[in-house]
Chains A and B, each alone.
Chain A
């Protein structure tokens, strides 16, 4: 493993962690709303949240490219507002990872909330708790295990993200080169052997992450 390869590994871990942190608040909120509330248009929002799982990743990448390019609706807003360039920068990598792993987080967190007996929440209400307090002190702590599992899955998915990232971030050495993109490029260059260390490292990282997630979810605590 060369120094360059290690840079790629650390970069991939950083963007994956960042993208997971970014989607946590919205993902948990959406998951709770789907699990615990009925509202007009709910089915549409649910479907949209799940779309990145089913739409071909490169198609998602194309959509992101159109939205966030310098001339695109969202990209131009961010340019004017913050001076941010999205396409072909590390921000695009975080964006692609966030979008692609969002459904996994929502699905898992939603199941976690649904697993919390509504009775606990009801009794909390009779004890005078506001909806926010019920969420923060009852629903969230009791669903925490599942939410962490969802975050782990989202992180693992981000680590392996390829299709959307390739389209919207490109394969720029040291700037947007993730493990998957690097493996692909090495294959393109005919350097299959150079891709192997990265391959093993990425499998290793994801294995450890998912294992930790399993341990957290299964650790015995009386319920």
Chain B
């Protein structure tokens, strides 16, 4: 999978997010201080925010082009999103949350079934629970599973583990790797935690005040 951002410009509060980048690794990290524009970057990839200039191409399909006034809405992009606060629907049980984006017609193999995904994420016993009664780690895995079950071509994760302690983080990292290996969904992973970068990412882009200031392997970037 390759995601290409060309000459993107998205005005934010204090500065503009301007990027020109290519994502083609299984797991690409986006690293930078808070307020750098990382969430806005994910938003525009998902189609939740609209840049004023530039183009976005996913594999060989143009999903956004400011010049040609082309903007594919989020529901047609098949890009999954796990936001920072998870946004699990509080009025629905775990099962209903998981199945919200599930469309059997789109599924080509049995990997993306409720039973299998719930098993991989180890949340099968939680299916009839109210999402608000789950622990932090359980909610995280439900959020991952929900996004997976919509069979996305690309999964965006916005600091998914920022509210968890390091013990829990360590326990969740294997689940993310399973997404990469079992479901073969490429990830774009935003974080400001160095340990997560090292553990997960194949390549890292550095973002500061809306500008991409560097790129390389985790080791290169953290040096």
5 further contact pairs, Cβ within 8 A, besides A126-B79, A127-B75: A125-B47, A125-B75, A126-B47, A126-B75, A127-B100
A119 to B78 CA separation, bound complex (whole angstroms): 17
A138 touches B89 (CB 8 A): yes
Once the chains bind, are B132 and A128 in contact (CB under 8 Å)?
A: no
B38 at the interface (CB under 8 A from A): no
Residues of A within 8 A of B48 (CB): 122, 125-126
Taking the closest CB of chain A, its distance from the CB of B170, in whole angstroms, is 26
Q: Check: A47 CB closer than 8 A to any chain B CB.
A: no
Are A119 and B83 in contact (CB-based, < 8 A)?
yes
Interface check A124, CB cutoff 8 A: yes
Q: Mark B114-132, 1 if CB is under 8 A from A, else 0.
A: 0000000000000000101
CA–CA, A142 and B47, complex, Å: 23
Establish whether residues B101 and A117, one from each chain, have CB atoms under 8 Å apart when the complex forms: no
Asked if A141 is at the interface of the complex by the 8 Å CB criterion, the answer is yes
Q: Which of A96-135 contact B (CB under 8 A)?
A: 117, 119-120, 122-130
Q: From known contacts A120-B89, A122-B74, A142-B90, infer whether A127 and B150 are also in contact, taking CB-CB under 8 Å.
A: yes
**The one of A126, A130, A138, A223 that contacts B132, using a Cβ cutoff of 8 Å:** A223
Verify B73–A126 contact, CB threshold 8 A. no
Q: Is B91 an interface residue (CB 8 A)?
A: yes
A222 interface residue per 8 A CB criterion: yes
Give the number of chain A interface residues (Cβ < 8 Å). 18
Question: Is the contact region of chain A dominated by helix, strand, or loop, or is it mixed?
Answer: helix
Q: Is B185 an interface residue (CB 8 A)?
A: no
* Interface set, chain B 64-118, CB cutoff 8 A to A: 73-75, 77-81, 83, 85, 87, 89-91, 100-101, 103
Q: Is the CB of B146 closer than 8 A to any CB of chain A? A: yes
B135 close to A (CB within 8 Å): no
Question: Contact at B90–A126, with CB atoms within 8 Å?
Answer: no
B75 touches A130 (CB 8 A): yes
Give A122 to B74 CA distance when docked, in angstroms: 8
Given contacts A122-B48, A123-B83, whether A129 and B90 have CB atoms under 8 Å apart is no
Report the minimal beta-carbon distance from B40 to chain A, rounded to whole angstroms: 13
Convert A45-85 into 0s and 1s, putting 1 for each residue whose CB lies closer than 8 angstroms to a CB of B.
Answer: 00000000000000000000000000000000000000000
Q: How far is the CA of A124 from the CA of B87 in the complex (A)?
A: 9
Residue of B73, B87, B132, B133 near A123 (CB, 8 A) is B87
Kindly state whether residue B46 has any CB partner on chain A within 8 Å. yes
A115 to chain B, nearest CB (A): 13
Q: 5 tightest CB-CB pairs across the interface, nearest first?
A: A127-B101, A125-B74, A222-B132, A123-B87, A126-B81
Q: Which residue of B lies closest to A117 (CB)?
A: B87
* Docked complex Cα distance between A120 and B150 (Å): 16
Complex-state Cα separation, A223 to B131, whole angstroms: 10
A223 CA / B130 CA spacing, docked (Å): 11
